[in-house]
Amino acid sequence: MIRKVIGIYYSPVGGTEIMTKTLARKIGAILDDCSPLDVNVECYDMLKDQSGITFDDETIAVIGMPAYVGKIPLPAAAAMRSFTGNGALTLAAVSYGGRRYGNALFELKRLAEDCGFKAIGAGAFMISYMARRGSARSAAPAIDMDSLSDFCNAASEKIKRLAGCEIEELRIKPMPVEVSGRMPVHKISRISPRAAAAAQSVFNRISVLRRKSEWFL
């Protein structure tokens, strides 16, 4: 039985934080509605809150990172390694600016699995920094809320099927989630949070291509 949804994120400019909190809160609310016990939601910045967060088989982990140049940022990958998943069911989520998220989602899912999380879903969601700031240059929605909602509904159904039974041995075993990417994982982006904030506006000025969010369960 799921008792807790924990969102952990790395978010230099705030978009990934919004995405992760939205996912964790929506999924927490759906699970809480159909559970006889309370389902609590907690969200943490993975650079600031590395201690005292524990994952177990009664926890859903939502792990959020941004795509920088099609990769996950190095400080985020380093911070992730201090967490131990203990087999917690996990949704890996990448926020991106509407161009290409490249290898980022593949890298995040692999990293989460290396840290002991059991990935049952993954998604890349478009979060437009310029639109979020109200720029007239951006016709894109600030946050692809429709895709986030669809993913939460579908992921919650899967979680209910996988975690609904009290007896571990009787639970349905999840199929591996397929996210395409390259092996070996290429060098992870080394950009620092401060440089990311400066680069963000430049990136969005040159971003014209809009690709829809995608998710896999």
Ligand X SMILES: Cc1cc2nc3c(=O)[nH]c(=O)nc-3n(C[C@H](O)[C@H](O)[C@H](O)COP(=O)(O)O)c2cc1C
Positions that interact with ligand X (CB under 6 A): 11-16, 66-70, 95-102, 127, 129, 191, 196, 199-200, 203
| Min dist. Cβ of residue 156 to ligand X (A) | 23
Which residue blocks in 11-144 are alpha helix, DSSP H? Answer: 15-33, 74-80, 104-114, 129-132
Q: Cβ contacts of residue 33 below 8 Å, gap of 6+?
A: none
Rounded distance, CA 166 to CA 124, Å? 31
- Nearest partner of 6 among 34, 45, 33, 37, judged by Cα: 45
The Cβ-side half-sphere exposure at 99, using a 13 Å CA radius, reads: 17
Q: How far is the CB of 131 from ligand X (least distance, A)?
A: 10
CB of 139 to ligand X, least distance (A): 16
Closer CB to ligand X, residue 30 or residue 76? 76
By beta-carbon proximity to ligand X, the closer residue of 147 and 156 is: 147
Minimum CB distance to ligand X smaller for 68 or for 163:
68
Closer Cβ to ligand X, 85 or 97, answer by number: 97
Q: Are 99 and 70 in contact (CB under 8 A)?
A: no
Give the shortest CB-16-to-ligand X separation in angstroms: 3
